[in-house]
Structure 1
Amino acid sequence: MCGERNYRAILTCLWIEGLLYGSYLPLFLGSAYICAYTRPNKYLLTLAASVFVVCTIQALLDFATLLYTPEIVANTFCTGGVCLGCDGDTESRVNQIELQDILWMIVDAGGIVNQLMADGLLIYRAFVLWKPRFWVIVIPTTTLLGTVVCGLLHTYATSQTYLIRLHAPLSETTPPPKWVTLEALDLTALSIESALITTTNVLTTALIAYRIWWITVGLSRALGGRATRKYYRVLTMIVESGGIYTMSIITRLAFMYVLPDDRKIFIIVHP
């Protein structure tokens, strides 16, 4: 049945996003408790709360997109990275696509801000652990800036395709050459962005984990293994959390290329 694959794929992607958000909630609550009571730090608490609020807004907007674009969800098939209506483009479908693009642009803007805050915090932690060796954060900082640039390019491409669709007559069935160029730019920006996010997270996680391990080894020699157990637990948590997030980015990137017909669907997932 036309549209069934798209329907299942979108629901699956949003289900995965819901699971990731549900996994993030206890982590945020734990971080907030530590920053508020165990080791009070109003700046880190504010940053953690800001990241959580933006993530929540992104998740709500993604679900709002699902609820307010039923024709796109249930009556769409994708081929070659291009998604079309099973019954052609009706006025209501075009209106829903325009609404979808607007919501996606808001979500993308939130993603840029969130990535800047979250990865910026990781880089700051690496800086604190490694200072005065400032050179260790040069590459992560560069990749973070590159991530922001790619995110802006992605948002720009989405906004331009939205404007093209907004001013195009309903009878026009062939996209203009600029549309194809923007789609290529969008895919390239997303691919590079995913690679840069992965690089930033792998580098910062490795820097933080190695530094904690190195400090722990020294403390273990001086104080014994029992005194450093909590540091090993922290080390494990850092590696696991960084690894899970990195794998989610790599998985999305892989699906975008392995299943090019459903590329537009995987773009909406925000790990």
Structure 2
Amino acid sequence: MADPQSSAAWARVDLVCLCVQCVLYSGYVVLTTSSMYLLVNPRKSRPLAGFRTRVILTAYSICLFITTTLYFIGNSEYVAIGLIDDSTNYAMYQNDSSGLWPVLRDTALIVNFWLADSLLIWRAYGIWNYNVWVVALPILVYIANIAVGIALLVATTQPNVGFTGQSVIALGTAFWSISVAMDVIVTLLIAGRLLWYRRKMGILGNDHTRHYIAIAGVFAESAAVYAICGILYIPFYTTNFPIQDLFASLFYFSSSIAPVVIILRVALGATETRKTSEASFTAHTIAFQPVEYSQNQTGSGALASLVHATDDSKVPPTVRSAQSLHVLRGNEDTYELADVHVQY
């Protein structure tokens, strides 16, 4: 029989975790319904994604919602039965991994992680202009994680093994470690690319950099919370302390919330998709002719606008010039802006 104090500690922590999961699941449902509504009704937003992308993301959201809901139901029922029917021996009850509810919970959870990781790889693939070599390593890690996840599911369903069995702990540590490692790699790829966009597009002004300037946008787009929660969870999982369930709740639901936030940003047109990723961010050379200075006129400066140049690759490099639009009048000197030559 398990230590009563240990059982009480696990029971209290799991009760708190169940309340936390209720809050997180409620927020997840709100985000999911909002994103799916915008995907189905693109006129309600300014979507950058095409019809096919919206269909795929809608189907993905439905699958993710199913797995997340099954996990939430399975875990809630499993914890509730333990707290009500076997509260004095809760630690031993919790170690049972071959029952209906723990099998449903664990299967839905692992499939949920596979779905979340696949979306992160897709985002990195799209943000890096659909360069498969950039995501080659994450794809290989992802395939390895699928294999380890299947082995973990098989191990947990074996009778008289439980979550504290050596094989389950070893496979579980490998599964979570591989998943977190892949999340960190993909997060760095996405965040690094978005920060590169931010630097390259900064000269174009706020209208062009509104998708990339905000650090919060980079944080959400790269699913950094998902990776951070995973990093915090791994040490507690290996020590098997009751507090691990609290970090597990945050980590598990971040795997559902982070992808939905990305989908919501795509549905709102607040992120980068194929249409924007294919745009050229090549820095053009701008050359200014000498500015004439006059003491005999009044004014303080001039404003110029650049003529929009075509992006047609068939047109040879040209030099376009633009005259100043108007002169700002002042009380002292006038600076007359000469031709502004833009080299494309």
| 1:251 corresponds to 2:232 | yes
Tell me if structure 2 keeps the 8 A contact 1:153–1:189.
yes
| 1:215 corresponds to 2:213 | no
Q: What are the Cα deviations for residues 211-255 of structure 1, in whole angstroms up to 9, with x where unaligned?
A: 22323333332x31343123334x623524722222322333222
Tell me if structure 2 keeps the 8 A contact 1:256–1:262.
no
**Corresponding residue to 1:54 among 67, 77, 88:** 67
Cα displacement (A) at 1:113: 2.1
| 1:187 corresponds to 2:169 | yes
CA distance change for structure 1 residues 54 and 249 in 2, over 3 Å: closer, same or farther?
Answer: same
Match for residue 35 of structure 2?
A: 31
| 1:64 corresponds to 2:73 | no
Residue 134 of structure 1: SS of its match in structure 2?
Answer: coil
* Higher share in helix: 1
* Higher share in strand: 2
When normalised by structure 2's length, the TM-score is: 0.60
Q: What are the Cα deviations for residues 187-217 of structure 1, in whole angstroms up to 9, with x where unaligned?
A: 1111111111212222212212222232333
Gap regions ≥5 residues in structure 1: 86-93, 166-178
Percent identity of paired positions between Structure 1 and Structure 2: 20
| 1:239 corresponds to 2:247 | no
Deviates more, 1:235-244 or 1:54-63: 235-244
CA distance change for structure 1 residues 216 and 68 in 2, over 3 Å: closer, same or farther?
Answer: same
Tell me if structure 2 keeps the 8 A contact 1:198–1:246.
yes
Match for residue 141 of structure 1?
A: 139
Count, aligned residues: 237
Gap regions ≥5 residues in structure 2: 254-344
**Corresponding residue to 1:113 among 96, 111, 123:** 111
Match for residue 123 of structure 2?
A: 125
Q: CA RMSD in A?
A: 3.2
Q: Distance in 2 between matches of 1:42 and 1:207?
A: 26
Residue 213 of structure 1: SS of its match in structure 2?
Answer: helix
Cα displacement (A) at 1:265: 5.5
Q: Distance in 2 between matches of 1:180 and 1:66?
A: 15
Q: Distance in 2 between matches of 1:6 and 1:267?
A: 14
Q: Distance in 2 between matches of 1:204 and 1:139?
A: 10
Q: Distance in 2 between matches of 1:60 and 1:142?
A: 32
Q: Distance in 2 between matches of 1:153 and 1:200?
A: 19
CA distance change for structure 1 residues 116 and 257 in 2, over 3 Å: closer, same or farther?
Answer: closer
Deviates more, 1:260-269 or 1:112-121: 260-269
When normalised by structure 1's length, the TM-score is: 0.74
Cα displacement (A) at 1:71: 6.0
Q: What are the Cα deviations for residues 20-61 of structure 1, in whole angstroms up to 9, with x where unaligned?
A: 323433332343244222325111111012112210121011
Tell me if structure 2 keeps the 8 A contact 1:66–1:73.
no
CA distance change for structure 1 residues 182 and 6 in 2, over 3 Å: closer, same or farther?
Answer: closer
Runs of 4+ in 1 over 6 A off after TM superposition: none
**Corresponding residue to 1:201 among 183, 193, 207:** 183
Cα displacement (A) at 1:19: 3.3
Tell me if structure 2 keeps the 8 A contact 1:158–1:186.
yes
Q: Distance in 1 between matches of 2:15 and 2:64?
A: 25
* Structure 2 letter corresponding to 1:142: L
